[in-house]
Amino acid sequence: MIDRRNPIAWTLFILLVLPQVAVGVTTKFWTVESQEQMAEGELEGMSITSRGRLVLSPDRETLLEMGDLYAWELAIGPKGDIYAATGQDGIIYRIPRKGDPEVFFDSLELEILSLEVDRKGWVYAGTSPDGMILRISPEGEGGILLDSPEDYVWDLALDENGDLYAATGDRGRIYRVSGAGKADVFYDASETHIMCLLYDRATGLYAGGEGNGVLYRIDQSGNASVLLDAEEAEISALAMDAEGNLFAAAVEAIGNNGGNNGEQGSNGKSASIYRISPDGVVCHYWSVPAEFVFDLEVADDGRLLVATGGEGQLYAVGEHAEWWRIVDLDEVQILDIHEEDGDILLATGNSGRVYRLGKGYGGEGWFTSEPFAAETVCRWGMLRWEGECPDGCDVAFSVRSGNTETPNETWSEWSSESRHPAVPKVPDSRYAQWRVRCESRGEETPVIEAVTVAYLERNLPPRLTSLMVLPSGGTFYKGVSDAAPGPVTQLFSNGIRIQYSVSGLGTPPVAAEKLGWVRSIRTARWEVSDPNDDDLVFEISYRGEGEANWKTLEESWKDPVYSWESERMPDGRYRLKVIVRDTPGNPEQSSLMDELVSDPFGIDNTPPQIRDLRAHRVEGGIEISGRASDGVSPLTKGRYSIDVGEWYPFLPEDGLFDALEESFRIRASSDETGERTILIQVVDAAGNPGVATVTVR
């Protein structure tokens, strides 16, 4: 016989994938160490490297702060004076090596977009909206050198002969103005705008366009070849290193007025830097973590400086594309870069300013982390950090906490600063944030590599959200979703073994009434969740209708499904109760629980009774009559067989099996004479078959 205590012999009707084992309420750790994590924070006087290290930014000095909205471009004169082209008042400022900034030239144009200074100190300025080139003497007196039919003069470049090249839009032309003042169209591109120029004495003129994102190389005769046809719509900036490698910034166009209109794009795409070797081989060099690049510059140390828009960030890219986020400015755009004696000059937009970044480090800087969200209210523990703090430097941390996603006036004040691993004194909360203050004497900088804060979440109770007792005849198979159940066999007392094949999930392979040992197996399943992902244990009990006490089936069950044999339960109506506790993952005194009671369900292991069964011959067959009844479950179907022959279904006299008691009258066709034995079977809703026989002669 089948050993029904062995679950391997159970029939598979429904598949259950069990949840992973949880770990309980234990100390957890919030760690910030990667570049992506650091980049989510706020920097003031701090820089981030591509390895996720925090260092102080270079020493910063404001050289020019005027009322203009944009400082479009910078140029350095032969005596070291700095010239700044601005908008929207069309003023050129001069910043002497010694002395205060001054207005060098006040034009009638709205924007001075581009600048060049020749060896004699003459200044050339490209304007908008009238597309002029102005020529201004070292003393600040000037006039119109070229009044072109264009709207924008985006960039200027001088060659060794004193010829001036002008990149214009919106018809994509490059003009050349000779030293004698003669002007002509040097190259008419298929682009809408020519955004940037770079002249190299050995190889010629390079030009980047907007519209198709094409990078041209043009010889002295005006013959052009294409070095790069980028996927992006615009080549916005160019730079060349000492080995002749050309760097090109490619961006998505962000306005009908060309890329340098000062507005950040909204397409969510990042910009790209391409490197073109002297032999013309193009490779993707770096993906810029910004939508727009306004300028490129190769520094004396070989690093590529990248000026971006959107958040006013300056990057430096070194070998193997290792990069540094050197500075985050309050201004929206860094529009131009120049290096002067190892210092970096920056021109900005929104608002227009000129900065100098020195060789040393700034004296003080702050980094504030992105707020961290725990799953529940928690207690905040030890803050530790990894990195370096050289002699003469200082590193100090503080923490604040609150219960809103964004810090506001309801958050706590910043805790007192700590310089060693310490537990911050902040209220229990769901959210927290840390900041670090770094100081330096200028020669060395602290390095923050990783910051870890310990926290312990408050224990919350588990929750039962559903509880269902399945109909009789089905159990669960515990295993992976593609596991194939083995066959179910049953050995009869006469030595015959039969085998039932599982035909599919969710459907019994054979009629329930054919598997008596399966009918008595009942299964309950429930859904449960725990905010802390604790290990859970279940207590399962039942109670009959009219009874006062719950009777325990299991005290320490671990799965959200349970099957039991109902043979020892009298027929009747019952309820099942499940109690869940998070005891395995918590001290007993702090563990929590929940409970849920099922809807009523029936236990019916008693087959229907067939009474008053009679049979007699009639013309052309046999008439069988009788009554069937069940004390708990309604009857659902009936069938008969003559002399162990084929089964034939029948209906009760009222035409529908749906009551606890039904009368039936069957007219069976039969031409045979002699004794006939008729088997009647009636099945109730619980799958119990009742059987009776009658003989007719």
Amino acid at 295: D
The one-character DSSP state at 422 is: B
* β-strand pairing of 12-16 with 475-478: parallel
pLDDT band at 518 (very low <50, low <70, confident <90, very high): low
- Secondary structure element (H or E) that encloses residue 35, with its range: helix 35-39
Q: DSSP readout, 634-656?
A: -EEEEEEEETT---EEE--TTS-
pLDDT of residue 651: 96
Cα 538 from chain centroid (whole Å)? 35
Q: What number is the average pLDDT over the span 378-400?
A: 95
Report the distance separating Cα 502 and Cα 499, nearest Å: 10
Give the integer Cα–Cα distance in Å for 583 and 465: 19
Measured between alpha carbons, how far is 692 from 678 in angstroms, rounded to an integer? 8
Nearest to 139, CA basis, from 107, 104, 164: 104
pLDDT for the residue 486: 55
* Mean of pLDDT over the chain: 87
Tell me, letter by letter, the H, E, C secondary structure of 54-77. Answer: EEECEEEEEEEECCCCEEEEEEEC
pLDDT in tens, 2-47: 343 333 333 333 334 344 444 456 889 999 999 889 989 999 999 9
321 phi and psi angles, rounded to 5 deg: 60, 25
Rounded CA separation 52/58 (Å)? 17
- Cα 642 to Cα 394: distance, rounded to the nearest angstrom: 100
Answer yes or no: is pLDDT of 226 > 90: yes
How far apart are alpha carbons 428 and 402 in whole angstroms?
A: 8
The dihedral through the CA atoms of 593, 597, 598, 603 has a sign that is positive
Closest residue by Cα to residue 651 from 633, 663, 634, 669: 663
Tell me the pairing of strands 537-544 and 572-581: antiparallel
Largest CA distance in the chain: 137
Q: What is the mean pLDDT of the segment spanning 176-195?
A: 93
pLDDT of residue 235: 97
Q: What is the C-alpha to C-alpha distance for residues 592 and 463, in angstroms, rounded to an integer? A: 10
- List of residues 6+ apart from 386 with CB closer than 8 A: 33, 448, 449, 450, 451
How does residue 674 score in pLDDT terms, banded at 50, 70 and 90? confident
| Spatial separation of the C-alpha atoms in residues 276 and 57, rounded to whole Å | 30
Output phi, psi for 38, to 5 deg.
-65, -40
167 three-class SS: strand
Return the closest-CA partner of residue 231 out of 254, 251, 255. Answer: 251
Q: Residue 312: CB partners within 8 Å, gap ≥ 6?
A: 328, 329, 330, 331, 332, 333, 334, 348
Indicate the SS3 state at residue 8: helix
The structure's pTM equals 0.64
Residue reference for tokens 């430096």 = 316
If pLDDT is split at 50, 70 and 90, which confidence band does 516 have?
low
- SS3 call for 467: strand
Can you list the positions of beta strands (E) in 534-634?
A: 537-544, 551-557, 561-565, 572-581, 593-597, 601-603, 609-618, 621-629
> What is the rounded CA–CA span in Å between residue 558 and residue 550?
20
pLDDT of residue 542: 97
For residue range 598-636, what is the model confidence (pLDDT) as tens digits? Answer: 999 999 989 999 999 999 999 889 999 999 999 889 999
- Given this model, what pLDDT does residue 67 score? 83
Which range has the worst mean pLDDT, 467-481, 535-549, 662-676? Answer: 467-481
pLDDT, residue 490, reads 42
| Choice among 201-215, 286-300, 614-628, 662-676 with the minimum mean pLDDT | 662-676
Q: How many CB atoms lie within 10 A of CB 612?
A: 10
- pLDDT score recorded for residue 533: 83
Category of 129 on φ-ψ map: left (φ > 0), alpha (ψ -120 to 50) or beta:
alpha
Residues 243-255 have a mean pLDDT of 87
Could you identify the residue written with the tokens 């020493």?
59
Task: Give the model confidence (pLDDT) of 480-512 as tens digits.
Answer: 444 444 554 545 455 555 454 444 444 444 444
Instruction: Work out the pLDDT band at 268, boundaries 50, 70, 90.
Output: low
DSSP class of residue 213 equals -
DSSP classification of residue 685? T
Mean pLDDT (whole number) for 81-92: 95
Instruction: Look at residue 154 in the predicted model and tell me its pLDDT.
Output: 98
Number of Cβ within 10 Å of residue 596's Cβ equals: 17
Q: What is the pLDDT of residue 474?
A: 53
Can you tell me the distance from the alpha carbon of 477 to that of 485, in angstroms, rounded to the nearest whole number? 8
Q: How far is CA 388 from CA 55, 265, 325, 327, 623, in A?
A: 10, 38, 19, 20, 101
Instruction: Give the span between the Cα atoms of 150 and 157, in whole angstroms.
Output: 17
pLDDT at 496: 54
Residues with Cβ within 8 Å of 233's Cβ and at least 6 positions away in sequence, in order, are 210, 211, 212, 213, 251, 252, 253
Give tens-digit pLDDT for 429-460.
Answer: 999 999 999 999 878 999 999 999 999 988 88
CA–CA distance, 105 with 95 (Å, rounded to integer): 12
Domains of the chain: 7-23+461-603 (2.60.40.10), 28-51+365-457 (2.60.120), 58-361 (2.130.10.10), 609-696 (2.60.40.10)
More confident residue, 517 or 315: 315
> How is residue 472 written in tokens?
């009789």
Q: For the residues 111-130, what does the mean pLDDT come to?
A: 96
